[in-house]
């Protein structure tokens, strides 16, 4: 399966019937929220959408007419006769991001699986789970719109009945955190009740300061730099940041499949917390322990290793664990949260995957979703010649860790993406 070509963006996005056209006036409906909310950004978002259409906001977005949407029934010939240009793609993407976000603000509750649950370590019911092979897993994306877009396209082509688990960390490091966020919101709108987004530490690390700017509890934090920019989009960035903080606050932290696979960004409650579970007699008491603040931090922040055991270092949120620590957790929760194997993000293994051969009794898998060189992401080469040749995701299977799915990156498409979208960010790079 080849990677997604950028001219394919238009039929993919047109399936919603919600394109924003630069040649027409677009507004959002200022609907009253169904529940009380301390922010009221509806009127602000409507103004931003109108302003973006009139080119009075976002100085870098040129005023051009977007090509007409391609209906699903149109043939390939008409598509090639009127290809989407990079100029129109940038315009469409910026405007569509505003429209997608305005839709979230209006509805105030994205149709994500297990979103807003009181307990954030959830169990996927057999009814929701259905067939294991319909479920796909994407690791840390970190602002890599190219990788996210290609993974979603591959999944969509491979299995029309797909369901998706995101292991967290959509933001920071990569150049397109906003675009990755709106693409997920679009996907949730297009396929309601089929997307499960688990919070990563970078997702939930952003806070608002007293001066209305933003900071992060984790480094690197390029998404905060993006939100704090002072330009013609500043009102949108500030409102976006506040709504984003509320969005990720209600994301689940861990999910257990009916056959015992634990999906989480980081890990699980480590051994020093297990003493707090002793004496918990009722199911509610045990689940309260599993969903305590300390336990949720471990689900999101801890890191998998190849070692047998690791002593939790509570001087750091990023404690490590080994396979014997996971076995102890499985034993501690077996009567109310029956875990058998583990799937994580958080780590960034070379080639996008680590199947942890040292983990014999309880198998484990770590997935990385982004394709750029994570060790040199501030250099142009990370997004071009050092970009991975293959992107990686997981496809679930019964009573085992997910199957590792690799598909090739189209290098010509990647070069086109880099030259026309990223080169200007790096001194010395030449735009073509």
Question: What's the pLDDT at 339?
Answer: 98
Cβ-contact 363, 401 below 8 angstroms: yes
Question: 104 with 115, same domain?
Answer: no
How many other CB atoms sit within 10 Å of the CB of residue 223?
A: 27
Which phi and psi (to 5°) does residue 210 adopt? -65, -30
C-alpha span between 324 and 319 (Å, rounded): 15
Question: 199 with 68, same domain?
Answer: no
Question: What's the pLDDT at 120?
Answer: 98
Q: Could you say which of 71, 92, 108 is where a domain stops?
A: 108
Number of domains the chain contains: 2
Question: What's the pLDDT at 402?
Answer: 98
Which phi and psi (to 5°) does residue 287 adopt? -70, -35
C-alpha span between 420 and 432 (Å, rounded): 7
Residue 211's domain is classified under what CATH number?
3.60.21.10
DSSP state of 266: S
Question: What's the pLDDT at 7?
Answer: 41
Three-class SS state of 88: helix
What domain range is 27 assigned to?
1-108
Question: 138 with 89, same domain?
Answer: no
Question: 342 with 404, same domain?
Answer: yes
Question: 198 with 249, same domain?
Answer: yes
C-alpha span between 298 and 376 (Å, rounded): 28
* Preceding amide of 220 cis, omega within 30: yes
Question: 227 with 140, same domain?
Answer: yes
Cα Rg of the chain (Å, integer): 22
The neighbouring-strand residues paired with 406 are 392
Q: What is the DSSP string of 308-371?
A: S-----TTSS--EE-HHHHHHHHHHTTTTS---EEEE-SS--GGGEE--TT--SS-EEEEB---
Which residues does 234 contact at the CB level (< 8 Å), separation at least 6?
Answer: none
* Token output for 303: 């890191």
C-alpha span between 69 and 344 (Å, rounded): 38
Cβ-contact 23, 65 below 8 angstroms: yes
Q: How far is CA 164 from CA 82, 155, 349, in A?
A: 32, 9, 21
C-alpha span between 432 and 419 (Å, rounded): 6
Question: 104 with 129, same domain?
Answer: no
User: What is the DSSP pairing of strand 320-321 with strand 303-304?
Assistant: parallel
404's enclosing H/E stretch is: strand 400-408
C-alpha span between 57 and 81 (Å, rounded): 31
C-alpha span between 334 and 357 (Å, rounded): 24
- Nearest C-alpha neighbor of 322 from the set 290, 296, 346, 358: 358
Question: 334 with 364, same domain?
Answer: yes
Torsion sign, CA atoms 375, 379, 385, 387: positive
What are the pLDDT tens digits along the chain (432 aa)? 333 343 444 343 343 333 332 222 222 223 333 343 332 333 333 333 333 333 322 222 222 233 333 333 333 333 333 333 434 445 555 555 666 566 555 556 788 999 999 999 999 999 999 999 999 999 999 999 999 999 999 999 999 999 999 999 999 999 888 888 888 988 888 899 999 999 999 999 999 999 999 999 999 999 999 899 998 878 878 888 888 999 999 999 999 999 999 999 999 999 999 999 998 999 999 999 999 999 999 999 999 999 999 999 888 877 999 999 999 999 999 999 999 999 999 999 999 999 999 999 999 999 999 999 998 888 999 999 999 999 999 999 999 999 999 999 999 999 988 888 888 888 765 544
Cβ-contact 194, 162 below 8 angstroms: yes
Question: 415 with 288, same domain?
Answer: yes
Q: Could you say which of 108, 126, 142 is where a domain stops?
A: 108
SS3 content of the chain, % helix, strand, coil (to 5): 40, 15, 50
Question: What's the pLDDT at 421?
Answer: 81
- Nearest C-alpha neighbor of 188 from the set 93, 105, 255, 110: 110
In this structure, the dihedral spanned by the alpha carbons of residues 123, 127, 131 and 134, taken in order and rounded to 10 degrees, is: -80
Q: Could you say which of 90, 108, 126 is where a domain stops?
A: 108
- Nearest C-alpha neighbor of 393 from the set 142, 112, 152, 145: 152
Torsion sign, CA atoms 47, 49, 53, 56: positive
Question: 266 with 350, same domain?
Answer: yes
Q: What is the DSSP string of 188-248?
A: HHHSTT-EEEPPPHHHH-EEE-TTS-EEESSS--HHHHHHT--STTHHHHHHHHHHHHHHH
Question: 377 with 317, same domain?
Answer: yes
Question: 96 with 130, same domain?
Answer: no
């Amino acid at each position: 399966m080849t990677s997604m070509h950028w001219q394919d963006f238009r039929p993919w996005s047109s399936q919603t019937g919600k394109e924003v056209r630069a040649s027409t006036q677009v507004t959002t409906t200022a609907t009253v929220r169904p529940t009380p909310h301390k922010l009221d950004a509806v009127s602000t978002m409507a103004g931003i959408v109108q302003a973006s259409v009139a080119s009075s906001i976002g100085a870098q977005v040129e005023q051009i007419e977007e090509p007409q949407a391609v209906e699903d029934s149109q043939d390939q010939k008409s598509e090639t006769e009127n290809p989407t240009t990079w100029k129109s793609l940038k315009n469409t993407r910026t405007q569509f991001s505003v429209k997608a976000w305005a839709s979230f603000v209006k509805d105030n509750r994205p149709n994500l699986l297990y979103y807003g649950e009181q307990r954030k370590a959830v169990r996927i019911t057999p009814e929701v789970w259905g067939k294991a092979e319909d479920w796909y897993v994407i690791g840390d994306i970190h602002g890599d719109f190219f990788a996210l877009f290609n993974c979603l396209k591959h999944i969509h082509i491979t299995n029309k009945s797909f369901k998706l688990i995101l292991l967290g960390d959509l933001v920071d490091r990569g150049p397109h955190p906003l675009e990755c966020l709106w693409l997920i919101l679009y996907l949730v709108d297009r396929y309601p009740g089929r997307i499960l987004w688990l919070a990563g530490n970078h997702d939930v690390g952003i806070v608002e300061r007293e001066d209305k700017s933003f900071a992060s509890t984790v480094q690197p934090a390029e998404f905060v730099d993006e939100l704090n920019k002072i330009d013609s989009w500043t009102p949108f960035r500030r409102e976006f940041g506040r709504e984003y903080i509320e969005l990720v606050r209600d994301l689940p932290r861990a999910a257990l499949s009916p056959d015992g696979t634990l999906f989480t960004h980081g890990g699980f409650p480590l051994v020093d917390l297990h003493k707090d579970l002793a004496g918990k007699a009722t199911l509610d008491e045990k689940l309260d322990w599993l969903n305590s603040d300390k336990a949720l931090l471990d689900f999101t922040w801890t890191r998998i290793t190849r070692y047998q055991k690791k002593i939790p270092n509570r001087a750091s949120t990023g404690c490590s664990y080994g396979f014997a620590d996971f076995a102890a957790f499985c034993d501690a929760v077996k009567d109310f949260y029956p875990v058998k194997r583990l799937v994580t993000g958080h780590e960034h293994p070379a080639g996008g995957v680590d199947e942890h051969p040292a983990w014999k009794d309880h198998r484990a898998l770590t997935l990385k979703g982004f394709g750029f060189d994570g060790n040199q992401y501030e250099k142009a080469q990370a997004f071009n010649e050092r970009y991975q040749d293959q992107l990686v995701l997981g496809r679930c299977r019964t009573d085992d860790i997910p199957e590792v799915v690799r598909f090739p990156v189209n290098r010509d498409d990647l070069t086109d993406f880099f030259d026309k979208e990223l080169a200007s960010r790096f001194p010395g790079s030449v735009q073509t």
